[in-house]
Amino acid sequence: MPDKEIVFCMIAPTSEPVVATLRATGLIRAAATFWVLDEDGATIVETWPLAAGDTGSADHSIARAPTLLNHGWLTWDIEVCSLHAGQDTGAVEVIISQHGVSCPITKAQRWDVTGLPQCSAGSTIPIRRGVQFHTL
Amino acid sequence: MPSAYRLSLIAIALVVVAGIAHGQAKSVTSSSTSASEPISKFATDFDVPESPGFATLGVTPSKVLRGSVAKPVVTSLLGQVTSGGKLKGGAAVDIAPYFLYGGKVNNVEAYRANAIRRALANTQLSFATVQDPKDTASLSFGVGVRVVFTDAHDVLMHPGLLKRVDAALTSCSVVRPVTADEATAPGSGVGKEHVCAGLADSVQSAKDAALLFSGWSIAAGLGMGGFLHSSVVSSDSLGNRRARAWLSGGYSWGRHQEILMIAQLQDSTTVDWSARVGLGARAKFTDAAFGLELSYDGRSREFQPGAAGEWRVAPGVWLVGGLTTEAATTSGVTVPKLRLRTSFRWNPAGSSLQ
- Helices and strands (DSSP H and E) totals, chain B: 8, 13
Share of residues in chain B with pLDDT > 90 (%): 47
The answer to whether residue A3 sits within a structural domain is no
A-proximal residues of B, 202-231, CB under 8 Å: 202-204, 207
The answer to whether residue B263 sits within a structural domain is yes
A22-73 pLDDT, tens digit each: 999 999 999 999 999 999 999 999 999 999 999 999 999 999 999 999 999 9
Mean pLDDT across the stretch B24-36?
A: 34
Rounded Cα gap, residues A47 and B23, in angstroms: 40
Q: Does B165 touch chain A (CB under 8 A)?
A: yes
Q: How many other β-carbons are positioned within 10 Å of the β-carbon of residue B347?
A: 26
B93-112 pLDDT, tens digit each: 999 899 888 888 999 999 99
Rounded Cα gap, residues B262 and B275, in angstroms: 10
pLDDT-derived band of residue B202, with 50, 70 and 90 as boundaries? very high
**Which of B27-31, B35-39, B115-119 ranks highest by mean pLDDT?**
B115-119
Q: Does A130 touch chain B (CB under 8 A)?
A: yes
The answer to whether residue A123 sits within a structural domain is yes
The answer to whether residue A1 sits within a structural domain is no
The answer to whether residue A27 sits within a structural domain is yes
The answer to whether residue B318 sits within a structural domain is yes
B4-27 pLDDT, tens digit each: 445 444 444 444 444 444 443 333
The answer to whether residue B33 sits within a structural domain is no
Q: Does B195 touch chain A (CB under 8 A)?
A: yes
The answer to whether B38 touches A122, Cβ cutoff 8 Å, is yes
Mean pLDDT across the stretch B108-131?
A: 93
- Exposure class string for B266-297: b at 16+ Cβ within 10 A, else e: bebeeeeeeebebebebebeeeebebebebeb
> Is the pLDDT score of B30 beyond 90?
no
Can you give the pLDDT at residue B50?
A: 87
pLDDT-derived band of residue B349, with 50, 70 and 90 as boundaries? low
To test the contact with chain B by mutation, choose from A8, A34, A57, A77 the residue with the greatest count of B C-beta atoms within 10 A, namely A77
> What's the number of domains chain B is made of?
1
Q: Does B156 touch chain A (CB under 8 A)?
A: yes
**Which residue has better confidence, A98 or B7?**
A98
**Which residue has better confidence, A81 or B241?**
A81
Can you give the pLDDT at residue B352?
A: 41
The answer to whether B25 touches A86, Cβ cutoff 8 Å, is yes
pLDDT-derived band of residue A101, with 50, 70 and 90 as boundaries? very high
Chain A: nearest CA to B252, how far in angstroms? 23
Of A47, A56, A86, the CB nearest to B25: A86
Rounded Cα gap, residues B284 and B308, in angstroms: 12
- Residue A131: its chain B contacts at CB < 8 A? 183
> Do A124 and B189 make contact, defined as CB atoms within 8 angstroms?
no
Residue A90 structural domain:
8-135
The answer to whether residue A84 sits within a structural domain is yes
> Is the pLDDT score of B38 beyond 50?
no
Mean pLDDT across the stretch B19-41?
A: 36
Q: Does A73 touch chain B (CB under 8 A)?
A: yes
Q: Does A48 touch chain B (CB under 8 A)?
A: no
Q: Does A58 touch chain B (CB under 8 A)?
A: no
Amino acid at B94: D
B55-100 pLDDT, tens digit each: 998 889 898 998 888 777 788 888 877 666 667 789 999 998 998 8
ipTM of the complex: 0.95
> Is the pLDDT score of B222 beyond 50?
yes
The answer to whether residue B186 sits within a structural domain is no
CA distances in angstroms from A112 to A109, B28, B95, B187, listed in the order given: 10, 12, 26, 14
pLDDT-derived band of residue B327, with 50, 70 and 90 as boundaries? confident
CATH number, domain at B225?
Answer: 2.40.160.40
Between helix B163-173 and helix B199-211 the angle, nearest 10°, is: 170
Q: In terms of DSSP bridges, do strands A8-11 and A28-37 run parallel, antiparallel, or are they unpaired?
A: unpaired
- Residue B125: its chain A contacts at CB < 8 A? none
> Is the pLDDT score of B313 beyond 80?
yes
Rounded Cα gap, residues B51 and B127, in angstroms: 8
CA distances in angstroms from B47 to B122, B236, B290, listed in the order given: 13, 39, 12
Chain B: nearest CA to A115, how far in angstroms? 4
Q: What residue of A is the nearest CA neighbor of B168?
A: A31
pLDDT-derived band of residue B287, with 50, 70 and 90 as boundaries? confident
The answer to whether A46 touches A93, Cβ cutoff 8 Å, is no
Q: Does B36 touch chain A (CB under 8 A)?
A: no
The answer to whether residue A2 sits within a structural domain is no
- Residue B172: its chain A contacts at CB < 8 A? 79, 124
Mean pLDDT across the stretch A96-116?
A: 95
The answer to whether residue B58 sits within a structural domain is yes
> Is the pLDDT score of B143 beyond 60?
yes
Residue B73 structural domain:
3-27+43-158+213-346
pLDDT-derived band of residue B333, with 50, 70 and 90 as boundaries? confident
pLDDT-derived band of residue B231, with 50, 70 and 90 as boundaries? low
Q: In terms of DSSP bridges, do strands A123-135 and A8-11 run parallel, antiparallel, or are they unpaired?
A: parallel
Rounded Cα gap, residues B146 and B245, in angstroms: 10
The answer to whether residue B169 sits within a structural domain is no
The answer to whether residue B70 sits within a structural domain is yes
To test the contact with chain B by mutation, choose from A28, A39, A83 the residue with the greatest count of B C-beta atoms within 10 A, namely A83
**Which residue has better confidence, B272 or B334?**
B272
> What's the number of domains chain A is made of?
1
